[in-house]
Structure 1
Amino acid sequence: MGVPMVEAEQKNVVRVHERFPEEFARLMERLPPWVRVEVEGHRDSLDEIVLDLGKPLIYTAGDQVYVLEGRTVTKDDLSYLTHRLGGFKENNRAGLEGTLHRVSRIQDAYGETVGVTIRVGRFVLGVAEALRPWLEQTGSLLVVGPPRTGKTTLLRDIVRILAGRYGPRVAVVDTSNEIGGDGKLTHPGISPARRLQVPDPPSKNQGWVIYQAIANHSPEVVVADEIGYNEDVFQCLTASRRGVRVVATAHGETILDLLENPVLLPILGDPGEGRRRSRPSFAMCLEVRGKGKFVLYPDFAEALDTLLTGGEPEGLRLGRWD
């Protein structure tokens, strides 16, 4: 699918959220001292830290990968980190209460920790501002994009905008605790939205939690990350028929990828033989083409029909394409 020719006018408002400066310091406190010294100078761009037993420290800042030769990670380094995190859950993840950082471990055949991946989480204010005119309208939104293009970062800021209007009647179904952070306390950036955490494994529980959100808490909007199982899809379909707005993400690069995923077809209007059998569950669709680059299809049904008849839908380019 080519790049759409229509471009919407908007202001460049993307900036790092500065209301939570203590979050980075809380992460640094958990790291072995020599690792902390190496990475803390990259405060504004640090993205990921990799600690593997017997190997050098590797970390990513911005688009650059750094390998610290001359020193290797030891069992003491991994124990130091684990002790200060308070241990890991059954899914081999740990988080810091009230932050967006995520720590995942690798175990050997005997259950001992031999590697750790640390994802540095940040709340980015304004990344979804270009969508505000459409978010303030009624209608559900489906966000599609490949991994590491900022879908979850975008989703957090969408929640912020929606919560500013609907308050606690925005219910976030947090599949892997990446929207509101790990722990019992939800990250303050998405308040006053309410967050429902999903037990592991999410493939068996996310749809049930979406159902609970709708049935028990009377939300105006339900937000879910990474739908892709039959039960998820069924509950999103049910929500749309009950008048509850849904904002959700799905894997893929374009709308065409959604059409080629048989699990998602019910929420796309059950397309087949060049036409839809019903209306889609989502009024709008957003393709994430890269960090800060979006293509919005305000009329998702029309875009689907165009694709099904062999055409190429025209969308609005939003964000930072320069």
Structure 2
Amino acid sequence: MTDIKNFKKVLLYMPKGISSAMNKISTENTSRINEIRLRINKPVSVSSYGKNYFVTENGGLTTHKSLGIVVQKNDINECFRAICDYSLHSYTKEISEGFITLEGGNRVGISGTAVLNGNYVETLKYINGINFRISGQVFGCSEKICERLYDVKPVSLLIIGPPLSGKTTILKDMCRILGEKYKISVIDERSEIAAVYHGEAKNDIGTFTDIFDGYPKGEGITSAVRVMSPEIVICDEIGGKRDCNAILDSVNSGVKFIATVHGSSVEEVLKRRNIADLISNEIFQYGVLLGSGSRIGEVMEIKKIV
């Protein structure tokens, strides 16, 4: 279920005409929306339990494109400036990476034309699309996992699911529950787990949890293990070579890892080269598969993998 307060917060960054229509959406429908997308010359769309709808002027949700509010170029430009707090140079790094994290952990994805410096994206110009992902905590959603796997001692766990399956939501709740029992370091590269804003965590992530906010995962893992002696390191969306190498380098410290990874099945994920290296070194003992669509966030399978 969507955090209504966070939904209302993201509307503050939108042009008046669009935000006015979004404010008219019923509470019941609002509670199910996890993404809001603005694209130039296309209708405003929202995602709800894996399905896409267009937003009408009176706040209705429809599958008929012709009834949706059309986003103009000026709407995108106004929204983009507001997201950057009217100071684009202050968000150069975030813009180059294609996302900005707002208060409350709401993440904004940005698409446009890349300005390259060699092989690297230096910034974006001609912004053409903005995607708001609504953050929130679902208290108790990870209890089944925590009770089954973490009652006696920590284990290493991969949380697997397709996009928008609730992986990060499960991760937040595991932080909250396990952070009352174990020493945890959260590597929060995109400020989505702890929702740090101006140095303060807005989400409840447990008493014994330390936050490495904005760190690239590889550097964050290395620093956390070196300076905080955690029992568990938690991070979102692993899979890159640097992430996996940092995890491998930390294995001798005895720390356990909880991480998410995109995938449609445990077996499919285990075939990927970098993940396979972690499994062959017995880094992760268990995999949890989450449902999608109408079964978002539902634990479909808990499987021992080593």
Q: TM-score range by the shorter chain?
A: 0.7 to 0.9
1:181 aligned to which of 195, 219, 223: 195
Greater relative CO (CA pairs within 8 A, separation 6+): 1
**What stretches of structure 1 move > 4 A for 4+ residues in a row?**
none
Contact 1:239 1:245 in 2 (8 A): no
1:164 match: 180
Root-mean-square deviation (Å): 2.5
Query: Is residue 2:87 matched to residue 1:104?
Result: no
Change (3 A) 1:230 1:131: same
Aligned-pair identity in percent equals 24
> Distance in 1 between the 2:265 and 2:52 partners?
28
1:49 aligned to which of 36, 40, 46: 36
2:82 aligned to which of 78, 81, 84: 84
1:137 match: 152
What amino acid maps onto 1:296 in structure 2?
Answer: I
Query: Is residue 2:167 matched to residue 1:151?
Result: yes
Residue by residue, what CA displacement relative to the aligned partner does 1:122-164 show, whole Å, maximum 9, x if unpaired?
A: 2111110111222233222122222222111111111111112
TM-score calculated relative to the size of structure 2? 0.77
Which SS does the other structure have where 2:44 is aligned?
A: strand
Number of residue pairs matched by the alignment: 266
> Distance in 2 between the 1:62 and 1:231 partners?
33
What amino acid maps onto 2:18 in structure 1?
Answer: V
Query: Is residue 2:302 matched to residue 1:296?
Result: yes
1:275 match: none
Contact 1:107 1:113 in 2 (8 A): yes
- Give, in angstroms, the shift of residue 267 of structure 1: 1.8
TM-score calculated relative to the size of structure 1? 0.73
Which SS does the other structure have where 2:38 is aligned?
A: strand
Change (3 A) 1:70 1:49: closer
2:64 match: none
- Give, in angstroms, the shift of residue 214 of structure 1: 0.4
- Give, in angstroms, the shift of residue 70 of structure 1: 6.2
Contact 1:210 1:235 in 2 (8 A): yes
What amino acid maps onto 1:172 in structure 2?
Answer: V
> Distance in 1 between the 2:17 and 2:287 partners?
45
2:283 aligned to which of 281, 284, 290: 281
What amino acid maps onto 2:134 in structure 1?
Answer: V
Query: Is residue 2:12 matched to residue 1:29?
Result: yes
Contact 1:106 1:114 in 2 (8 A): yes
> Distance in 2 between the 1:294 and 1:210 partners?
29
Pairing of 1:232-243 with structure 2 (within 5 A): 232-243=243-254
Residue by residue, what CA displacement relative to the aligned partner does 1:217-236 show, whole Å, maximum 9, x if unpaired?
A: 11121001122123322332
- Give, in angstroms, the shift of residue 187 of structure 1: 2.9
Contact 1:141 1:282 in 2 (8 A): yes
> Distance in 2 between the 1:262 and 1:300 partners?
16
Instruction: Give unmatched runs, 5+ long, in structure 1.
Output: 1-15, 200-204, 271-279, 302-322
Which SS does the other structure have where 1:137 is aligned?
A: coil
> Distance in 2 between the 1:64 and 1:253 partners?
18
1:12 match: none
Residue by residue, what CA displacement relative to the aligned partner does 1:27-83 show, whole Å, maximum 9, x if unpaired?
A: 222222222232232321122111112222222234542224364222332233233
- Give, in angstroms, the shift of residue 181 of structure 1: 3.1
2:60 match: none
Instruction: Give unmatched runs, 5+ long, in structure 2.
Output: 57-66, 115-123
Change (3 A) 1:114 1:213: same
Contact 1:239 1:246 in 2 (8 A): no
